[in-house]
Amino acid sequence: MTTSAHHPTGAAPRGRTLVAGIGNVFLGDDGFGVETARRLAGLPLPEGVEVVDVGVRGVHLAYQLLDGYDTVVLIDATARGGTPGTVYLIEPDTARGAVAGGVQVDGHHMSPDAVLALLDTLTASAGGSRPRRVLVVGCEPERVAEEMGLSAPVEAAVDEAVRLVLRLLREETAVSGAPAGAAAPGP
């Protein structure tokens, strides 16, 4: 699924933003990012915002990030030891080389930090631009097991995550000076 706001052909708006839902819908709460992206895709978004469900295609996402996005919002299940359903806003240190460790490329199981590490490798070898800002909207999973559907606390957290992403998009639009385009609904 890819949804983008309309803009004149060939004219990339200032402040392009990519919102990417990450996760495996066959592993319970790991599908949080995918479900959140699905809900966001059905809403009016500011001009220059593209919402994608990348699912388990982390390598594809890393290559897509080379396309000149100013801001990237990654949405994923994020185990940090909190109460299941807790929504986190994380701004990783994305300075070149700040993402620790070597790149482990498993096209079907790449966390946001692995995607960013691969992006470092790609920009160093192939060129391209890095996003100015990367944000991760995460949710504490209750269970990640072979099953379809989100647990009750994670399902309830999707609406909170949608509101958070919409607020972030409004803030980024104001900072970048990009035209507001369609107004995003308020929280």
Per domain, the residue ranges of the chain are 16-100+110-176
| Cβ atoms within 10 Å of 115's Cβ, excluding its own | 27
Nearest-angstrom CA–CA distance, 158 and 171: 20
Distances (CA, A) of 109 to 54, 113, 132: 11, 11, 25
pTM of the predicted model over 0.85: no
pLDDT band at 186 (very low <50, low <70, confident <90, very high): very low
Condensed to tens digits (0 to 9), the pLDDT of residues 13-63 reads 457 888 989 888 999 999 999 999 999 999 999 988 989 888 665 566 666
Classify 16-100+110-176 by CATH class. Answer: alpha beta
Q: Bridge-partner residues for 17, per DSSP?
A: 49, 71
pLDDT at 77 over 50: yes
